[in-house]
Structure 1
Amino acid sequence: MNSIDWIAKILLIIGGLNWGLAIWNINLVTAVSDGIFATIIYALVGISALWAVYKLVKK
């Protein structure tokens, strides 16, 4: 497992926690950062999800 896989896993965990906390109207990403940084984090989580799908299909 290379470093890209580890980074993708960490970002997917962040995204999953953010979705889980949304039940209580808590947004973890915007609590930590706001504005363009939150947008960048969301984009990175989305790219990580695409990477995970690619890795699943590749096997």
Structure 2
Amino acid sequence: MKAVNLVTLLLVIIGAVNWGLVGAFDFNLVSALFGDGSAVARGVYVLVGLSGLWQLALFVRALQIDEPRAEAGGRLAR
């Protein structure tokens, strides 16, 4: 499971960098690498989207078990 978490986190980071480039420079790295509208580019977008959902589920689970507070050693204000 740790490998899946790392791969999905990497894909989410790649997606964030791509959106940053689109917003700042109107440059889509995925389209530049794989072709605008190509099947490979669409596959990358789908994988990034699914990875985002996976990471969202992990985030919600971490909040439900109060993991951020546990990792901070209870130093966070209530």
What one-letter code is carried by the residue in structure 2 that aligns with 1:30? S
* Aligned length, in residue pairs: 59
**Partners in 1 of 2:16 and 2:58 — Cα distance?**
18
**TM-score, length-scaled by structure 2:** 0.71
**Any gaps of 5 or more consecutive residues in structure 1?**
none
Percent of residue pairs bearing the same amino acid type: 37
User: Structure 2 regions of 5+ residues with no counterpart?
Assistant: 63-78
Greater relative contact order structure (CA < 8 Å, 6+ sep): 1
Bigger share in helix: 1
Alignment RMSD (CA, Å): 1.1
The one-letter code of the counterpart of 2:9 is K
C-alpha separation between the residues in 2 aligned to 1:13 and 1:56?
15
In the superposition, the TM-score normalised over structure 1's length comes to 0.92
